[in-house]
Chains A and B, each alone.
Chain A
Amino acid sequence: MGHPRTHAGPAIAVSDLRMRYGDKDVLTGLDLEIEAGGVTALLGPNGAGKTTTIEILEGFRGRSAGDVSVLGVDPAHGDERWRAQLGVVLQEWRDNGKWKVRDIVTHFAEYYKPYTNPWGADELLDMVGLAEQAGQRVRTLSGGQRRRLDVALGIIGRPALLFLDEPTTGFDPHARREFHELIHRLTDLDGTTILLTTHDLDEAEKLAERILILAGGRIIADGSPDQLARAASTTAEVKWIQDGKLQIHATEDATDFVRKLLATDDGKVTELEIHRASLEDAYLELVAQFEAGEAATAVDAFKEVTR
Protein backbone atom coordinates (compact mmCIF):
# COMPACT_ATOMS: atom_id res chain seq x y z
CA MET A 1 0.00 0.00 0.00
CA GLY A 2 2.61 2.52 1.07
CA HIS A 3 5.75 3.50 -0.69
CA PRO A 4 7.88 0.57 -1.76
CA ARG A 5 10.77 0.44 0.64
CA THR A 6 13.72 2.01 -1.04
CA HIS A 7 16.31 1.23 1.58
CA ALA A 8 17.06 -1.80 3.68
CA GLY A 9 18.02 -0.34 7.07
CA PRO A 10 15.88 1.00 9.91
CA ALA A 11 13.31 3.74 9.19
CA ILE A 12 15.07 6.08 11.60
CA ALA A 13 18.62 5.85 12.91
CA VAL A 14 20.06 8.54 15.14
CA SER A 15 23.32 8.50 16.98
CA ASP A 16 24.73 11.02 19.40
CA LEU A 17 22.35 13.76 18.25
CA ARG A 18 23.08 17.08 19.89
CA MET A 19 21.21 20.35 19.70
CA ARG A 20 22.18 23.54 21.37
CA TYR A 21 20.33 26.88 21.24
CA GLY A 22 22.74 29.61 22.33
CA ASP A 23 24.16 28.23 25.56
CA LYS A 24 21.22 25.93 26.26
CA ASP A 25 21.64 22.23 25.48
CA VAL A 26 18.34 20.73 24.43
CA LEU A 27 19.59 17.39 23.14
CA THR A 28 22.70 15.95 24.71
CA GLY A 29 23.57 12.82 22.78
CA LEU A 30 20.35 11.18 21.70
CA ASP A 31 20.56 7.63 20.32
CA LEU A 32 17.62 6.07 18.64
CA GLU A 33 16.78 3.36 16.15
CA ILE A 34 13.30 2.63 14.84
CA GLU A 35 12.60 -0.30 12.56
CA ALA A 36 10.10 0.03 9.73
CA GLY A 37 6.47 -0.60 10.69
CA GLY A 38 4.55 -0.03 13.89
CA VAL A 39 3.84 2.91 16.15
CA THR A 40 6.52 4.42 18.36
CA ALA A 41 5.77 7.13 20.90
CA LEU A 42 8.32 9.71 21.93
CA LEU A 43 7.12 10.57 25.41
CA GLY A 44 8.43 13.32 27.63
CA PRO A 45 7.53 16.35 29.72
CA ASN A 46 6.98 19.67 27.94
CA GLY A 47 10.30 21.24 27.06
CA ALA A 48 12.17 17.93 26.99
CA GLY A 49 13.14 18.37 23.34
CA LYS A 50 10.50 16.21 21.62
CA THR A 51 9.55 18.84 19.05
CA THR A 52 13.19 19.69 18.38
CA THR A 53 13.94 16.01 17.79
CA ILE A 54 11.01 15.47 15.46
CA GLU A 55 11.75 18.67 13.51
CA ILE A 56 15.32 17.51 12.94
CA LEU A 57 13.99 14.16 11.69
CA GLU A 58 11.48 15.93 9.42
CA GLY A 59 14.28 17.98 7.89
CA PHE A 60 12.75 21.25 9.14
CA ARG A 61 15.61 22.09 11.48
CA GLY A 62 19.38 21.81 11.40
CA ARG A 63 21.31 20.09 14.19
CA SER A 64 24.41 20.95 16.18
CA ALA A 65 26.05 17.51 15.94
CA GLY A 66 25.40 13.82 15.45
CA ASP A 67 24.39 11.40 12.71
CA VAL A 68 20.80 11.19 11.54
CA SER A 69 19.32 8.93 8.90
CA VAL A 70 15.62 8.95 8.01
CA LEU A 71 14.60 6.35 5.41
CA GLY A 72 18.28 6.03 4.62
CA VAL A 73 18.80 9.76 3.95
CA ASP A 74 20.25 12.57 6.06
CA PRO A 75 17.24 14.91 6.54
CA ALA A 76 19.53 17.95 6.14
CA HIS A 77 20.06 16.87 2.52
CA GLY A 78 16.72 15.24 1.72
CA ASP A 79 15.41 15.87 -1.79
CA GLU A 80 11.83 16.01 -3.04
CA ARG A 81 11.73 12.25 -3.67
CA TRP A 82 12.65 11.68 -0.02
CA ARG A 83 10.15 14.32 1.09
CA ALA A 84 7.41 12.49 -0.83
CA GLN A 85 7.88 9.42 1.40
CA LEU A 86 7.22 11.37 4.60
CA GLY A 87 3.97 12.51 6.15
CA VAL A 88 3.98 15.35 8.64
CA VAL A 89 1.21 16.33 11.04
CA LEU A 90 2.13 19.30 13.19
CA GLN A 91 0.72 20.53 16.48
CA GLU A 92 -1.39 23.36 15.14
CA TRP A 93 -2.02 23.98 11.51
CA ARG A 94 -4.49 26.65 10.43
CA ASP A 95 -3.46 26.94 6.80
CA ASN A 96 -5.72 27.48 3.81
CA GLY A 97 -8.72 28.19 6.05
CA LYS A 98 -10.83 29.62 3.23
CA TRP A 99 -10.44 26.55 1.01
CA LYS A 100 -13.07 23.88 0.75
CA VAL A 101 -12.10 20.57 2.32
CA ARG A 102 -12.32 18.58 -0.92
CA ASP A 103 -10.34 21.23 -2.86
CA ILE A 104 -7.45 21.11 -0.42
CA VAL A 105 -7.28 17.31 -0.47
CA THR A 106 -7.52 17.09 -4.25
CA HIS A 107 -4.94 19.81 -4.76
CA PHE A 108 -2.40 18.49 -2.26
CA ALA A 109 -2.59 15.04 -3.82
CA GLU A 110 -1.25 16.63 -7.04
CA TYR A 111 2.13 17.29 -5.47
CA TYR A 112 2.75 13.57 -4.91
CA LYS A 113 1.80 12.40 -8.37
CA PRO A 114 5.32 12.34 -9.84
CA TYR A 115 6.42 10.05 -6.99
CA THR A 116 3.55 7.82 -5.99
CA ASN A 117 -0.11 7.06 -6.43
CA PRO A 118 -1.76 9.35 -3.86
CA TRP A 119 -5.14 8.78 -2.22
CA GLY A 120 -8.27 9.91 -4.04
CA ALA A 121 -10.07 12.72 -2.22
CA ASP A 122 -13.36 10.96 -1.50
CA GLU A 123 -11.76 7.70 -0.44
CA LEU A 124 -9.41 9.52 1.92
CA LEU A 125 -12.05 11.82 3.42
CA ASP A 126 -14.21 8.79 4.00
CA MET A 127 -11.43 7.05 5.85
CA VAL A 128 -10.75 9.95 8.23
CA GLY A 129 -14.48 10.46 8.72
CA LEU A 130 -14.83 13.79 6.96
CA ALA A 131 -16.94 12.71 3.98
CA GLU A 132 -19.83 14.89 5.14
CA GLN A 133 -17.60 17.95 5.53
CA ALA A 134 -16.12 17.73 2.01
CA GLY A 135 -17.97 20.82 0.77
CA GLN A 136 -17.29 22.92 3.88
CA ARG A 137 -14.62 25.58 4.20
CA VAL A 138 -11.66 24.37 6.23
CA ARG A 139 -11.94 27.05 8.92
CA THR A 140 -15.47 25.96 9.79
CA LEU A 141 -14.25 22.54 10.98
CA SER A 142 -14.09 21.76 14.69
CA GLY A 143 -10.70 21.22 16.33
CA GLY A 144 -10.96 17.44 16.08
CA GLN A 145 -12.15 17.53 12.47
CA ARG A 146 -9.36 19.91 11.55
CA ARG A 147 -6.77 17.56 13.02
CA ARG A 148 -8.28 14.62 11.16
CA LEU A 149 -7.96 16.68 7.98
CA ASP A 150 -4.32 17.28 8.91
CA VAL A 151 -3.84 13.53 9.24
CA ALA A 152 -5.52 13.02 5.87
CA LEU A 153 -3.11 15.52 4.31
CA GLY A 154 -0.22 13.86 6.13
CA ILE A 155 -0.97 10.42 4.68
CA ILE A 156 -2.20 11.61 1.28
CA GLY A 157 1.00 10.47 -0.47
CA ARG A 158 0.91 7.03 1.24
CA PRO A 159 4.03 7.82 3.28
CA ALA A 160 6.49 5.20 4.45
CA LEU A 161 6.96 7.25 7.62
CA LEU A 162 4.42 9.47 9.36
CA PHE A 163 5.26 12.03 12.05
CA LEU A 164 2.56 13.15 14.46
CA ASP A 165 3.57 15.95 16.81
CA GLU A 166 1.37 16.12 19.93
CA PRO A 167 -1.65 15.14 17.85
CA THR A 168 -4.34 15.40 20.54
CA THR A 169 -3.31 18.51 22.47
CA GLY A 170 -6.41 20.48 23.37
CA PHE A 171 -8.87 17.69 22.51
CA ASP A 172 -11.90 16.78 24.58
CA PRO A 173 -12.11 13.09 25.55
CA HIS A 174 -14.51 12.27 22.72
CA ALA A 175 -12.35 13.85 20.01
CA ARG A 176 -9.32 12.16 21.52
CA ARG A 177 -10.96 8.76 21.38
CA GLU A 178 -12.00 9.25 17.76
CA PHE A 179 -8.49 10.31 16.93
CA HIS A 180 -7.01 7.23 18.59
CA GLU A 181 -9.36 5.04 16.56
CA LEU A 182 -8.13 6.76 13.40
CA ILE A 183 -4.51 6.01 14.28
CA HIS A 184 -5.39 2.36 14.88
CA ARG A 185 -7.05 2.25 11.47
CA LEU A 186 -3.91 3.68 9.87
CA THR A 187 -1.71 1.02 11.37
CA ASP A 188 -4.07 -1.71 10.25
CA LEU A 189 -4.04 -0.40 6.69
CA ASP A 190 -0.45 -0.72 5.66
CA GLY A 191 3.12 -0.88 6.84
CA THR A 192 3.42 2.84 7.56
CA THR A 193 5.89 3.56 10.33
CA ILE A 194 4.45 6.09 12.75
CA LEU A 195 6.44 8.23 15.18
CA LEU A 196 4.31 10.35 17.47
CA THR A 197 5.26 12.69 20.27
CA THR A 198 3.13 13.15 23.34
CA HIS A 199 3.49 14.28 26.94
CA ASP A 200 0.64 11.99 27.92
CA LEU A 201 1.66 8.53 29.14
CA ASP A 202 -1.88 7.22 28.80
CA GLU A 203 -1.93 8.17 25.12
CA ALA A 204 1.47 6.59 24.52
CA GLU A 205 0.33 3.34 26.20
CA LYS A 206 -2.87 3.27 24.12
CA LEU A 207 -1.29 3.93 20.73
CA ALA A 208 2.27 2.76 20.72
CA GLU A 209 3.97 -0.62 20.60
CA ARG A 210 7.13 1.02 21.78
CA ILE A 211 7.64 3.98 24.08
CA LEU A 212 10.77 6.09 24.22
CA ILE A 213 10.98 8.46 27.14
CA LEU A 214 12.91 11.63 26.37
CA ALA A 215 14.19 13.73 29.24
CA GLY A 216 17.33 15.64 30.02
CA GLY A 217 18.22 15.72 26.33
CA ARG A 218 18.36 11.96 25.74
CA ILE A 219 16.35 8.77 25.78
CA ILE A 220 16.12 7.53 29.36
CA ALA A 221 13.79 4.58 28.87
CA ASP A 222 12.90 2.42 25.90
CA GLY A 223 10.55 -0.52 25.62
CA SER A 224 7.02 -1.75 25.07
CA PRO A 225 4.42 -0.31 27.46
CA ASP A 226 4.50 -3.67 29.21
CA GLN A 227 8.25 -3.83 29.57
CA LEU A 228 8.39 -0.30 30.91
CA ALA A 229 5.61 -1.01 33.37
CA ARG A 230 7.41 -4.07 34.64
CA ALA A 231 10.74 -2.27 34.83
CA ALA A 232 9.17 0.55 36.79
CA SER A 233 7.70 -1.83 39.31
CA THR A 234 10.74 -3.91 40.22
CA THR A 235 11.12 -2.00 43.46
CA ALA A 236 8.26 -2.82 45.75
CA GLU A 237 7.24 -1.52 49.12
CA VAL A 238 6.26 -4.18 51.62
CA LYS A 239 4.13 -3.05 54.59
CA TRP A 240 2.86 -5.07 57.52
CA ILE A 241 1.86 -4.78 61.16
CA GLN A 242 3.88 -6.69 63.71
CA ASP A 243 3.48 -6.33 67.49
CA GLY A 244 1.05 -3.47 66.83
CA LYS A 245 3.66 -1.49 64.92
CA LEU A 246 3.69 -0.57 61.20
CA GLN A 247 6.73 -1.94 59.40
CA ILE A 248 7.86 -0.78 55.93
CA HIS A 249 10.55 -2.35 53.79
CA ALA A 250 11.61 -1.52 50.21
CA THR A 251 12.91 -4.47 48.21
CA GLU A 252 13.62 -5.56 44.68
CA ASP A 253 12.49 -9.11 45.30
CA ALA A 254 9.27 -8.81 47.20
CA THR A 255 8.30 -12.46 46.81
CA ASP A 256 11.50 -13.75 48.36
CA PHE A 257 11.37 -11.17 51.13
CA VAL A 258 7.80 -12.04 52.09
CA ARG A 259 8.51 -15.78 51.99
CA LYS A 260 11.31 -15.35 54.50
CA LEU A 261 9.27 -12.94 56.60
CA LEU A 262 6.33 -15.28 56.98
CA ALA A 263 8.53 -18.32 57.59
CA THR A 264 9.97 -16.75 60.75
CA ASP A 265 7.18 -14.58 62.19
CA ASP A 266 5.36 -17.17 64.29
CA GLY A 267 2.04 -15.83 63.06
CA LYS A 268 2.59 -12.28 64.33
CA VAL A 269 2.55 -10.55 60.96
CA THR A 270 -0.84 -9.10 59.99
CA GLU A 271 -2.20 -6.81 57.30
CA LEU A 272 0.55 -7.60 54.81
CA GLU A 273 0.62 -5.33 51.73
CA ILE A 274 2.89 -5.25 48.71
CA HIS A 275 2.81 -2.01 46.74
CA ARG A 276 4.52 -1.79 43.37
CA ALA A 277 5.24 1.63 41.86
CA SER A 278 3.43 1.83 38.56
CA LEU A 279 4.91 3.30 35.38
CA GLU A 280 2.46 6.13 35.83
CA ASP A 281 3.78 6.91 39.32
CA ALA A 282 7.33 6.88 38.05
CA TYR A 283 6.50 9.03 35.06
CA LEU A 284 4.46 11.57 37.03
CA GLU A 285 7.31 11.84 39.49
CA LEU A 286 9.67 12.51 36.61
CA VAL A 287 7.43 15.21 35.16
CA ALA A 288 6.95 16.88 38.54
CA GLN A 289 10.67 17.04 39.20
CA PHE A 290 11.28 18.20 35.65
CA GLU A 291 8.86 21.06 36.04
CA ALA A 292 10.39 22.01 39.37
CA GLY A 293 13.62 22.57 37.45
CA GLU A 294 15.37 19.49 38.82
CA ALA A 295 15.93 17.83 35.47
CA ALA A 296 19.13 15.99 36.39
CA THR A 297 17.74 14.54 39.63
CA ALA A 298 14.56 13.56 37.87
CA VAL A 299 16.39 11.64 35.17
CA ASP A 300 18.61 9.83 37.69
CA ALA A 301 15.67 8.89 39.87
CA PHE A 302 13.67 7.61 36.92
CA LYS A 303 16.56 5.55 35.64
CA GLU A 304 16.98 4.10 39.11
CA VAL A 305 13.39 2.92 38.98
CA THR A 306 13.31 1.59 35.43
CA ARG A 307 16.79 0.12 35.34
Chain B
Amino acid sequence: MSTNTLHEYRTGWKRALIETKVSLTSIGDLMGFIMPTGIAIVVLLFMQNADFEGAPVSLGSMNMPSLIGMNVVFGGIMGMVGALAMDRTNGTLLRAKSMPGGMTGYLVGHLASTAMFIGASAVALLAVGLPLFDGLSFATPDRWMTFLAVLVMGVVATLPIGAVLGAILDNPRNMGLVMLPVMGLVAVSGIFYPITALPGWLQGVGQVFPMYWMGLGMRHALLPDSMAAVEIGGEWRTVTMFAVLAVWAVVSMALAPRLLRRMSRRESGSAVAARRADMQRDW
Protein backbone atom coordinates (compact mmCIF):
# COMPACT_ATOMS: atom_id res chain seq x y z
CA MET B 1 0.00 0.00 0.00
CA SER B 2 1.50 3.34 -0.98
CA THR B 3 1.78 6.18 1.52
CA ASN B 4 -0.84 8.14 -0.40
CA THR B 5 -3.35 5.31 -0.15
CA LEU B 6 -2.61 5.12 3.55
CA HIS B 7 -3.23 8.85 3.78
CA GLU B 8 -6.58 8.41 1.98
CA TYR B 9 -7.66 5.77 4.51
CA ARG B 10 -6.61 7.97 7.39
CA THR B 11 -8.50 10.92 5.92
CA GLY B 12 -11.53 8.63 5.47
CA TRP B 13 -11.31 7.71 9.13
CA LYS B 14 -11.30 11.40 10.07
CA ARG B 15 -14.34 11.84 7.87
CA ALA B 16 -16.06 9.02 9.78
CA LEU B 17 -15.41 10.80 13.08
CA ILE B 18 -16.85 14.07 11.75
CA GLU B 19 -19.88 12.25 10.26
CA THR B 20 -20.51 10.54 13.60
CA LYS B 21 -20.25 13.83 15.44
CA VAL B 22 -22.68 15.37 12.94
CA SER B 23 -25.15 12.47 13.33
CA LEU B 24 -25.04 12.61 17.09
CA THR B 25 -25.69 16.36 17.08
CA SER B 26 -28.48 16.33 14.47
CA ILE B 27 -31.91 15.86 16.02
CA GLY B 28 -33.25 14.51 12.72
CA ASP B 29 -30.61 11.78 12.48
CA LEU B 30 -31.09 10.75 16.10
CA MET B 31 -34.88 10.68 15.86
CA GLY B 32 -34.66 8.62 12.68
CA PHE B 33 -33.07 5.92 14.80
CA ILE B 34 -34.82 6.42 18.15
CA MET B 35 -38.42 6.62 16.89
CA PRO B 36 -38.78 3.27 15.05
CA THR B 37 -36.61 1.44 17.57
CA GLY B 38 -38.53 2.92 20.49
CA ILE B 39 -41.84 1.85 18.98
CA ALA B 40 -40.49 -1.67 18.41
CA ILE B 41 -39.37 -1.96 22.04
CA VAL B 42 -42.78 -0.81 23.32
CA VAL B 43 -44.47 -3.45 21.14
CA LEU B 44 -42.09 -6.08 22.52
CA LEU B 45 -42.91 -5.00 26.07
CA PHE B 46 -46.56 -5.82 25.40
CA MET B 47 -45.49 -9.17 23.98
CA GLN B 48 -43.93 -10.05 27.34
CA ASN B 49 -47.33 -11.33 28.42
CA ALA B 50 -47.41 -13.85 25.59
CA ASP B 51 -45.34 -16.96 25.18
CA PHE B 52 -44.65 -19.40 22.38
CA GLU B 53 -45.75 -23.02 22.89
CA GLY B 54 -44.78 -23.06 26.53
CA ALA B 55 -41.20 -21.80 25.98
CA PRO B 56 -39.45 -20.74 29.21
CA VAL B 57 -39.00 -17.14 28.03
CA SER B 58 -41.79 -14.74 26.98
CA LEU B 59 -42.31 -13.86 23.32
CA GLY B 60 -41.22 -10.30 24.09
CA SER B 61 -37.90 -11.39 25.57
CA MET B 62 -37.43 -13.84 22.72
CA ASN B 63 -37.82 -11.09 20.17
CA MET B 64 -35.57 -8.54 21.85
CA PRO B 65 -32.34 -10.18 20.59
CA SER B 66 -33.95 -10.68 17.16
CA LEU B 67 -34.66 -6.94 17.08
CA ILE B 68 -30.98 -6.21 17.66
CA GLY B 69 -30.06 -8.56 14.81
CA MET B 70 -32.63 -6.95 12.51
CA ASN B 71 -31.31 -3.52 13.39
CA VAL B 72 -27.80 -4.46 12.33
CA VAL B 73 -29.04 -5.67 8.93
CA PHE B 74 -31.31 -2.68 8.47
CA GLY B 75 -28.65 -0.21 9.55
CA GLY B 76 -26.01 -1.79 7.34
CA ILE B 77 -28.07 -2.01 4.18
CA MET B 78 -30.22 1.11 4.44
CA GLY B 79 -27.38 3.15 5.92
CA MET B 80 -25.27 2.55 2.84
CA VAL B 81 -28.06 2.65 0.23
CA GLY B 82 -29.61 5.79 1.67
CA ALA B 83 -26.31 7.64 1.88
CA LEU B 84 -25.09 6.67 -1.58
CA ALA B 85 -28.43 7.67 -3.11
CA MET B 86 -28.70 10.97 -1.26
CA ASP B 87 -25.05 11.86 -1.68
CA ARG B 88 -25.34 11.41 -5.40
CA THR B 89 -28.23 13.85 -5.54
CA ASN B 90 -26.71 16.55 -3.36
CA GLY B 91 -23.26 16.34 -4.96
CA THR B 92 -21.31 14.91 -2.00
CA LEU B 93 -20.08 12.08 -4.19
CA LEU B 94 -19.11 14.40 -7.01
CA ARG B 95 -17.25 16.61 -4.56
CA ALA B 96 -15.35 13.53 -3.39
CA LYS B 97 -14.52 12.74 -6.99
CA SER B 98 -13.15 16.25 -7.52
CA MET B 99 -10.50 15.85 -4.82
CA PRO B 100 -7.34 13.72 -4.90
CA GLY B 101 -8.17 10.45 -3.16
CA GLY B 102 -11.59 11.87 -2.33
CA MET B 103 -13.62 8.87 -3.41
CA THR B 104 -11.57 6.45 -1.28
CA GLY B 105 -11.81 8.85 1.64
CA TYR B 106 -15.56 9.17 1.20
CA LEU B 107 -16.17 5.41 1.07
CA VAL B 108 -13.86 4.56 3.96
CA GLY B 109 -15.43 7.37 5.95
CA HIS B 110 -18.93 6.27 5.25
CA LEU B 111 -18.29 2.58 5.90
CA ALA B 112 -16.59 3.39 9.18
CA SER B 113 -19.23 5.85 10.39
CA THR B 114 -22.08 3.47 9.47
CA ALA B 115 -20.29 0.65 11.29
CA MET B 116 -19.85 2.84 14.36
CA PHE B 117 -23.48 3.87 14.24
CA ILE B 118 -24.63 0.23 14.00
CA GLY B 119 -22.32 -0.80 16.83
CA ALA B 120 -23.47 2.06 19.04
CA SER B 121 -27.14 1.35 18.38
CA ALA B 122 -26.70 -2.38 19.08
CA VAL B 123 -25.07 -1.58 22.40
CA ALA B 124 -27.80 0.97 23.19
CA LEU B 125 -30.52 -1.60 22.44
CA LEU B 126 -28.74 -4.10 24.64
CA ALA B 127 -28.49 -1.58 27.47
CA VAL B 128 -32.20 -0.82 27.24
CA GLY B 129 -33.26 -4.45 26.66
CA LEU B 130 -31.41 -6.20 29.48
CA PRO B 131 -33.17 -4.46 32.39
CA LEU B 132 -36.57 -4.35 30.64
CA PHE B 133 -36.90 -7.98 29.58
CA ASP B 134 -36.88 -11.01 31.87
CA GLY B 135 -34.97 -14.13 30.97
CA LEU B 136 -32.11 -12.64 28.89
CA SER B 137 -28.70 -13.92 29.95
CA PHE B 138 -25.66 -11.74 29.39
CA ALA B 139 -23.62 -12.38 32.50
CA THR B 140 -20.73 -14.50 31.26
CA PRO B 141 -17.78 -13.74 28.94
CA ASP B 142 -18.81 -16.43 26.44
CA ARG B 143 -22.08 -14.50 25.90
CA TRP B 144 -20.16 -11.23 25.41
CA MET B 145 -17.90 -12.92 22.89
CA THR B 146 -20.79 -14.43 20.94
CA PHE B 147 -22.62 -11.08 20.90
CA LEU B 148 -19.52 -9.27 19.67
CA ALA B 149 -18.70 -11.91 17.06
CA VAL B 150 -22.26 -11.91 15.64
CA LEU B 151 -22.32 -8.11 15.65
CA VAL B 152 -18.99 -7.82 13.80
CA MET B 153 -19.96 -10.54 11.34
CA GLY B 154 -23.28 -8.77 10.69
CA VAL B 155 -21.55 -5.45 10.01
CA VAL B 156 -19.00 -7.09 7.72
CA ALA B 157 -21.75 -8.86 5.76
CA THR B 158 -24.32 -6.09 5.46
CA LEU B 159 -22.19 -2.99 4.72
CA PRO B 160 -20.92 -4.34 1.39
CA ILE B 161 -24.43 -5.58 0.51
CA GLY B 162 -25.61 -2.03 1.12
CA ALA B 163 -22.75 -0.65 -0.97
CA VAL B 164 -23.64 -2.97 -3.88
CA LEU B 165 -27.34 -2.05 -3.77
CA GLY B 166 -26.53 1.64 -3.32
CA ALA B 167 -24.17 1.60 -6.30
CA ILE B 168 -26.79 -0.03 -8.53
CA LEU B 169 -29.63 2.22 -7.41
CA ASP B 170 -28.92 5.58 -8.99
CA ASN B 171 -31.91 7.58 -7.83
CA PRO B 172 -33.25 8.16 -4.28
CA ARG B 173 -36.70 7.85 -5.84
CA ASN B 174 -36.09 4.12 -6.18
CA MET B 175 -35.14 3.61 -2.52
CA GLY B 176 -38.43 1.74 -2.06
CA LEU B 177 -37.08 -0.97 -4.35
CA VAL B 178 -34.62 -1.82 -1.58
CA MET B 179 -36.69 -0.76 1.42
CA LEU B 180 -39.75 -2.89 0.66
CA PRO B 181 -37.96 -6.22 0.08
CA VAL B 182 -35.91 -5.68 3.25
CA MET B 183 -39.14 -5.04 5.19
CA GLY B 184 -40.60 -8.15 3.58
CA LEU B 185 -37.59 -10.11 4.81
CA VAL B 186 -38.41 -9.13 8.38
CA ALA B 187 -41.69 -11.05 8.02
CA VAL B 188 -40.04 -14.28 6.83
CA SER B 189 -36.95 -14.13 9.08
CA GLY B 190 -38.54 -15.00 12.40
CA ILE B 191 -37.86 -11.59 13.93
CA PHE B 192 -41.19 -10.93 15.62
CA TYR B 193 -42.39 -14.55 15.70
CA PRO B 194 -40.50 -17.85 15.51
CA ILE B 195 -39.74 -18.83 11.91
CA THR B 196 -40.91 -22.41 12.59
CA ALA B 197 -44.48 -21.10 12.56
CA LEU B 198 -44.13 -20.37 8.83
CA PRO B 199 -44.78 -22.86 5.99
CA GLY B 200 -41.70 -24.82 4.98
CA TRP B 201 -41.03 -23.01 1.70
CA LEU B 202 -41.12 -19.58 3.41
CA GLN B 203 -38.68 -20.88 6.02
CA GLY B 204 -36.45 -21.80 3.09
CA VAL B 205 -36.69 -18.27 1.64
CA GLY B 206 -35.95 -16.71 5.02
CA GLN B 207 -32.85 -18.82 5.52
CA VAL B 208 -31.25 -17.58 2.30
CA PHE B 209 -30.85 -14.04 3.64
CA PRO B 210 -28.69 -12.58 6.44
CA MET B 211 -31.65 -11.17 8.39
CA TYR B 212 -32.70 -14.60 9.72
CA TRP B 213 -29.15 -15.56 10.66
CA MET B 214 -28.49 -12.30 12.46
CA GLY B 215 -31.66 -12.80 14.51
CA LEU B 216 -30.62 -16.38 15.26
CA GLY B 217 -27.09 -15.32 16.22
CA MET B 218 -28.32 -12.66 18.62
CA ARG B 219 -30.83 -15.08 20.20
CA HIS B 220 -27.94 -17.49 20.62
CA ALA B 221 -25.95 -14.79 22.37
CA LEU B 222 -28.70 -13.56 24.68
CA LEU B 223 -31.23 -16.33 25.36
CA PRO B 224 -30.91 -19.33 27.71
CA ASP B 225 -29.60 -22.41 25.90
CA SER B 226 -32.89 -24.22 26.46
CA MET B 227 -34.47 -21.73 24.00
CA ALA B 228 -32.64 -23.44 21.13
CA ALA B 229 -35.49 -25.95 21.19
CA VAL B 230 -37.73 -23.33 19.51
CA GLU B 231 -35.33 -22.93 16.53
CA ILE B 232 -35.22 -24.95 13.32
CA GLY B 233 -33.65 -28.34 14.10
CA GLY B 234 -33.74 -27.51 17.80
CA GLU B 235 -30.23 -26.03 17.85
CA TRP B 236 -28.39 -22.68 17.36
CA ARG B 237 -26.53 -23.85 14.24
CA THR B 238 -23.62 -21.56 15.08
CA VAL B 239 -21.28 -22.77 12.33
CA THR B 240 -23.95 -22.53 9.62
CA MET B 241 -24.86 -19.04 10.82
CA PHE B 242 -21.30 -17.74 10.52
CA ALA B 243 -20.85 -19.56 7.21
CA VAL B 244 -23.96 -18.04 5.59
CA LEU B 245 -23.05 -14.54 6.77
CA ALA B 246 -19.47 -15.07 5.53
CA VAL B 247 -20.71 -16.10 2.07
CA TRP B 248 -22.79 -12.92 1.86
CA ALA B 249 -19.79 -10.88 2.97
CA VAL B 250 -17.40 -12.44 0.46
CA VAL B 251 -19.78 -12.23 -2.51
CA SER B 252 -20.78 -8.63 -1.88
CA MET B 253 -17.19 -7.56 -1.14
CA ALA B 254 -16.16 -9.02 -4.47
CA LEU B 255 -18.89 -7.11 -6.30
CA ALA B 256 -18.79 -3.82 -4.40
CA PRO B 257 -15.49 -2.29 -5.62
CA ARG B 258 -16.37 -2.88 -9.28
CA LEU B 259 -19.85 -1.40 -8.92
CA LEU B 260 -18.62 1.53 -6.86
CA ARG B 261 -15.98 2.33 -9.48
CA ARG B 262 -18.67 2.25 -12.17
CA MET B 263 -20.85 4.53 -10.07
CA SER B 264 -17.95 6.94 -9.53
CA ARG B 265 -17.04 6.96 -13.22
CA ARG B 266 -20.56 7.97 -14.20
CA GLU B 267 -20.72 10.85 -11.77
CA SER B 268 -20.72 14.37 -13.23
CA GLY B 269 -22.30 17.74 -12.62
CA SER B 270 -24.92 17.24 -15.29
CA ALA B 271 -25.74 13.77 -13.92
CA VAL B 272 -26.37 15.34 -10.51
CA ALA B 273 -28.48 18.11 -12.05
CA ALA B 274 -30.53 15.61 -14.08
CA ARG B 275 -31.21 13.47 -11.00
CA ARG B 276 -32.28 16.50 -9.04
CA ALA B 277 -34.59 17.72 -11.81
CA ASP B 278 -36.06 14.23 -11.97
CA MET B 279 -36.84 14.26 -8.25
CA GLN B 280 -38.35 17.72 -8.35
CA ARG B 281 -40.69 16.62 -11.12
CA ASP B 282 -41.96 13.83 -8.94
CA TRP B 283 -42.42 15.66 -5.68
Contacts and interface: CB of A to CB of B under 8 A. Distances in A.
B91 A90 contact: yes
B100 A80 contact: yes
A115 B14 contact: no
A92 B89 CA distance: 11
Contacts of B22: 98-99
Contacts of A93: 90-91, 94-95
Contacts of A83: 98-100
A112 B100 contact: yes
**Helix, strand, loop or mixed for chain B's interface?**
helix
A165 B99 contact: no
A61 interface: yes
Contacts of B121: none
Contact of B18 (A84, A86, A107, A115): A107
A83 B91 CA distance: 18
- Top 10 closest A-B pairs, CB basis? A95-B92, A84-B100, A60-B268, A80-B100, A88-B98, A94-B90, A93-B91, A111-B99, A90-B269, A83-B100
A80 B101 contact: yes
B269 A111 contact: no
16 contacts: A51-B270, A55-B270, A60-B97, A80-B100, A83-B100, A86-B98, A88-B98, A93-B95, A94-B91, A95-B87, A95-B95, A111-B102, A113-B7, A115-B100, A153-B95, A165-B269
A114 B270 contact: no
B267 A60 contact: yes
A99 B95 CA distance: 14
B244 to A, nearest CB: 36
A80 B102 CA distance: 9
A285 interface: no
B269 A99 contact: no
Interface string B268-283: 1110110010000000
A110 interface: yes
Contacts of B26: 98
Interface string B222-235: 00000000000000
B94 A90 contact: yes
Interface in A83-131: 83-84, 86, 88, 90-99, 103, 107-108, 110-115
Given A60-B269, A91-B273, A165-B269, A96 B92 contact: yes
Q: What's the interface size class on B, roughly?
A: 20 to 34
B46 to A, nearest CB: 36
Interface of A: 51-52, 55, 58, 60-61, 80-81, 83-84, 86, 88, 90-99, 103, 107-108, 110-115, 153, 157, 165
Contacts of B11: 107, 110-111
B268 A55 contact: yes
Given A80-B4, A112-B100, A96 B95 contact: yes
Contacts of B7: 113-114
A297 to B, nearest CB: 27
Given A84-B99, A113-B7, A114-B100, 7 more contacts: A90-B94, A91-B273, A93-B90, A96-B92, A111-B11, A111-B100, A111-B102
A95 B267 CA distance: 14
A110 B14 contact: yes
Given A95-B90, A95-B92, A103-B18, A111 B101 contact: yes
Interface in B124-154: none
Interface in B45-86: none
A55 B7 CA distance: 27
A118 to B, nearest CB: 10
Contacts of B268: 55, 60-61
Contacts of A95: 87, 90-92, 94-95
Contacts of B102: 111
A81 B87 CA distance: 25
Contact of A51 (B90, B95, B269): B269
A91 B87 CA distance: 16
